């Protein structure tokens, strides 16, 4: 089935609506990647490359500085919230409006309307951001073609409510397992209850005081939480295994090894039988003191805020490219049935980005 | 497909093997109930009644006392442990050998070989003991034909390792639910963690000191345990619900209302948002001081032990019939892949029951 081509002459809100109405749940991005590639190849000032469903377009103007505008084109599953709907208050509703097709629309608008930017531009459109880290298109491009991602500074157009969000916190997920011995619950003294054995872990979690460090003037907030607990064999059996899944969100002044050591230490004397790292993505320092970041801050105005959630700015950071989040969406509504974006935030961000790249 | 008739002239171990090799997992008892009914109807000294897959056979000799020999004919699911296998040490292996086809074999052997017992006899063979309480055949007969279950004393041939086990403990299962508020785990302070809220419940469980009351000379042992715990929405979400399933096994000096009140009190100040009774079966006092029970104890010898698990003696007790567990099986191997019974326990119990009913 041929998909409609994307019309880059639409204004940014209308282009956002067109992108939202072009479903691209993680794993099904190919038609949208095709349409984006097709639209970009029609722009003579851009060189376009493709790897899988990831599309990279670059100017080659020989400017002193190169900046990257990046965004993922996939969304979480649709939740009865398509097609998009623009209400009378200027709010566009639908899956992906905030996270992050409004951001992708701005990438495409800048690509189409700024043929001679004051800095060389790299546009990165990538897939599979909303699913397992090893599938992430940005990571795959970084592995296969790291030269495509070279640059002095990156803006990730993730939802940040039209304010600059610096860096991001790291996230570490560990499974803490306690063990015991099964027995019939009518003769519980013949067994050892693994759920009861998890009490020290939970006490430690409940009593934990998270840090709130200030980095580059931004106050971060950590968190250490049980996100899952699971134990039980049958209603009449003393359980022999209980697993607590703990998520540590940590400020970017802490490296990955340090974060892991901290969590090990927190639970060191809690009777943990198995300590398993389930997932780990380091944070990224805000990097706002970098000249390119400072210039960006000055151009877009406002004051930066800390980013609490993990985003791909961390991936750019690990490639040596300072990066910030700056997009019109609102992260509080991402992944929700009532996801939406305010049209005036889209146009506001477009104006600021345009000014930055043309002044 | 016609099923083979049961041959009640086999000795008790051979009859046990024949019954084990006649699969009757809960819900599929009909062919075995048919075979038992057919075999009993061939015995002229018995009156046979049937309700569903429950078969009741009675002598009508006008004796001063009537005793009931009862057993369930269903088993838990087969676990690669059929057909039965008799090893060189005189141990019969297979699903149902202990729980409780060796007991059912003794019921059938007594029915066939004691035509003129010194006490009137009622044999009860019932279905669906291993599944939900409302399906239990003994309960269904008690509702539909309570007069079939009249008697002065009942012996339940549940596995008791050839020792008399008096009464049984009650079992109460409650769900304790804590609640919180969801939030992204990167901004955990915006939510309230329901797993952390379960800490007071688990602390109370871990610190609980169970009672060990002595009743009729038997020491019971209570237990209060988490048998399940469940909480969690997604790996990056602060969970808003956590459910702890608690099983209270209590000695039969405590009634149902008292047991429930006790558990409510234990968790009274633990922040429980919902307290739900999931299942409740009261215990049964050992009743060993009853003359019929005392005569039985004297005839079979040994000293009684407390029964920790819940069995249908409680159902007889609530019908006003004192009851004990006495069977050749070993409860420790019930419901296990390596379920087995010692042949000499079968013949030992048969001799004792025979002596009691003919002396």
Q: Is pLDDT of B173 > 90?
A: yes
B336 and B231 share a domain?
A: no
Is A63 a domain residue? yes
Residue A89, pLDDT > 50, answer yes
Tell me if B209 is assigned to some domain: yes
Q: With respect to residue A2, please indicate whether it lies within any of the assigned structural domains.
A: no
Pair (B37, B154) in one structural domain: yes
Average per-residue pLDDT in chain B? 94
What does the buried/exposed string (b/e) look like for A50-69 if buried means 16 or more CB atoms within 10 Å of the residue's CB? beebbbbbbbeeeeeebbbb
pLDDT digits over A163-212, tens only? Answer: 999 888 999 999 999 999 988 899 999 999 999 999 999 999 999 999 99
Question: Residues B269-274: what's their mean pLDDT?
Answer: 97
Q: Residue B333 is inside which H or E element, if any? A: none
- The verdict on whether A74 is a catalytic residue reads yes
Per-residue pLDDT, A1: 42
Nearest CA in chain B to A251: B186
pLDDT digits (tens, 9 = 90+) for B192-242: 999 999 999 999 999 999 999 999 889 999 999 999 999 998 888 899 999
Average pLDDT score over residue span A270-297: 91
SS percent in chain A: helix, strand, coil, step 5 = 35, 25, 40
0.85 surpassed by complex ipTM: no
Number of A–B residue contacts, CB under 8 Å? 154
Residues A186 and A271 in one domain: yes
Q: Which of B216, B246, B281 is the last residue of a domain?
A: B281
Nearest to B186 among A189, A245, A249 (CB): A249
Q: Where are the alpha helices (DSSP H) in chain A?
A: 12-20, 30-41, 102-113, 137-144, 194-197, 199-207, 256-266, 291-300, 313-318, 343-358
CB contact under 8 A, A226 and B189: no
CATH number of the domain to which B80 belongs:
3.40.630.10
B210 and B121 together in one domain? no
The whole-number average pLDDT for the span B313-334 is: 92
Number of domains in chain A: 2
Q: Do A232 and B227 touch (CB under 8 A)?
A: yes
Specify the 3-state DSSP secondary structure of B236.
Answer: coil
B199 and B266 co-located in one domain: yes
Q: Are residues A291 and A353 in the same domain?
A: yes
pTM tops 0.90: no
Average pLDDT over residues B41-52: 97
pLDDT tens, position by position, B337-358: 899 999 999 999 999 999 999 9
Catalytic: which of A37, A99, A129, A339? A129
d(CA A18, CA A29): 15
- Residue B275: how many CB atoms within 10 A of its CB? 16
Nearest CB to B169; choose among A186, A198, A228? A186
Q: At A4, is the pLDDT very low, low, confident or very high (cuts 50, 70, 90)?
A: low
In a domain, A309, yes or no: yes
Task: Based on the fold, state whether residues A201 and A256 are members of the same structural domain.
Answer: yes
Core vs surface per residue B21-41: b (16+ CB within 10 A) or e? ebbbebeebebbbbbbbebbe
Mean pLDDT of A258-269: 98
Closest Cβ opposite residue A232 in set B198, B229, B242: B229
The answer as to whether B189 is a domain residue is: yes
Tell me if B186 and A225 make a contact (CB, 8 A cut-off): no
Q: Is the pLDDT at B77 greater than 50, yes or no?
A: yes
* Same domain (yes/no): A95, A156: yes
In a domain, B7, yes or no: no
- Are B85 and B95 within 8 A, CB to CB? no
Query: Does the structure show a pLDDT above 90 at B3?
Result: no
* Helix, strand, coil % in chain B, rounded to nearest 5: 35, 25, 40
- The reply to whether A194 and A98 lie within a common domain is no
Q: Name the domain boundary from A281, A297, A313.
A: A281
Residue pLDDT, tens place only, A309-331? 888 999 998 898 989 999 999 98
For residue A302, being part of any structural domain is answered with yes
Residue B175 pLDDT class (50, 70, 90 cuts): very high
What CATH number is associated with residue A224? Answer: 3.30.70.360
Which range scores top for mean pLDDT: A264-278, A320-334, B280-294, B298-312? A264-278
What are A14's two structure tokens? 């209308």
User: pLDDT at position B303, please?
Assistant: 86
Q: Which of A116, A141, A113 is nearest to A60 (CA)?
A: A116
Is it true that the peptide bond before B100 is cis, omega within 30 degrees of 0? yes
Residues in A touching B245 (Cβ below 8 Å): 232, 235
B135 inside domain:
yes
**What does the block give as tokens for A137?**
């298109």
* B145 and B277 inside one domain: no
Range of the domain at A176: 170-281
- Higher model confidence: residue A105 or residue B288? A105
What's residue A353's pLDDT? 97
- Statement to judge: residues B194 and B236 lie in one domain: yes
CA A263 to chain centroid: 23
B232 to chain A: nearest residue by CA?
A: A228
User: Would you call B74 a catalytic residue per the annotation?
Assistant: yes
Question: Do B228 and A235 count as a contact with CB atoms less than 8 A apart?
Answer: yes
Same domain, B133 and B182: no
B226 CB neighbours in chain A (<8 A) are: 193, 195-196, 231-232, 239
Q: Of B253, B281, B309, which residue constitutes the final position of a domain?
A: B281
CB neighbour burial string for A93-109, b if at least 16 within 10 angstroms, e if fewer: bbbbbbbbbbbbbbbbb
């Amino acid at each position: 089935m041929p998909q409609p081509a994307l019309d880059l002459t639409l204004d940014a809100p209308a282009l956002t609506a067109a992108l939202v109405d072009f479903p691209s749940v993680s794993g099904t991005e190919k038609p949208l990647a095709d349409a984006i590639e097709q639209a970009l190849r029609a722009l003579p000032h851009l060189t376009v490359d493709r790897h899988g469903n990831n599309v990279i377009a670059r100017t080659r103007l020989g400017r002193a500085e190169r900046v990257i505008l990046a965004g993922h084109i996939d969304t979480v599953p649709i939740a009865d919230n398509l097609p998009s709907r623009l209400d009378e208050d200027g709010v566009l509703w639908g899956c992906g409006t905030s996270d992050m097709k409004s951001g992708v629309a701005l990438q495409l608008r800048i690509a189409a309307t700024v043929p001679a930017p004051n800095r060389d531009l790299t546009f990165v459109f990538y897939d599979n951001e909303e699913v397992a880290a090893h599938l992430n298109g940005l990571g795959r491009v970084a592995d296969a073609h790291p030269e495509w991602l070279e640059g002095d500074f990156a803006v990730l157009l993730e939802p940040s409510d039209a304010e600059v969000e610096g860096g991001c916190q790291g996230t570490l997920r560990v499974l803490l397992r306690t063990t015991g011995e099964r027995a019939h619950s009518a003769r519980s003294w013949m067994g050892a209850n693994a759920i009861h054995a998890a009490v020290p872990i939970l006490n430690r979690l409940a009593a934990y005081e998270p840090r709130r460090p200030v980095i580059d003037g931004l106050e971060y907030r950590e968190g250490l939480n049980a996100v899952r607990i699971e134990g039980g064999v049958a209603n009449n059996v003393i359980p022999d295994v209980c697993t607590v899944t703990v998520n540590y969100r940590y400020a970017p002044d802490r490296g990955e090894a340090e974060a892991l050591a901290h969590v090990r230490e927190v639970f060191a004397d809690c009777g943990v039988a198995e300590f398993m790292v389930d997932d780990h993505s380091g944070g990224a320092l805000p990097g706002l003191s970098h000249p390119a970041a400072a210039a960006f801050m000055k151009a877009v105005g406002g004051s930066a805020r800390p980013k609490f959630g993990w985003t791909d700015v961390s991936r750019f950071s690990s490639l040596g490219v300072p990066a910030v989040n700056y997009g019109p969406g609102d992260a509080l509504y991402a992944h929700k049935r009532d996801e939406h974006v305010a049209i005036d935030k889209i146009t506001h961000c477009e104006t600021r980005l345009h000014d930055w790249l043309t002044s």
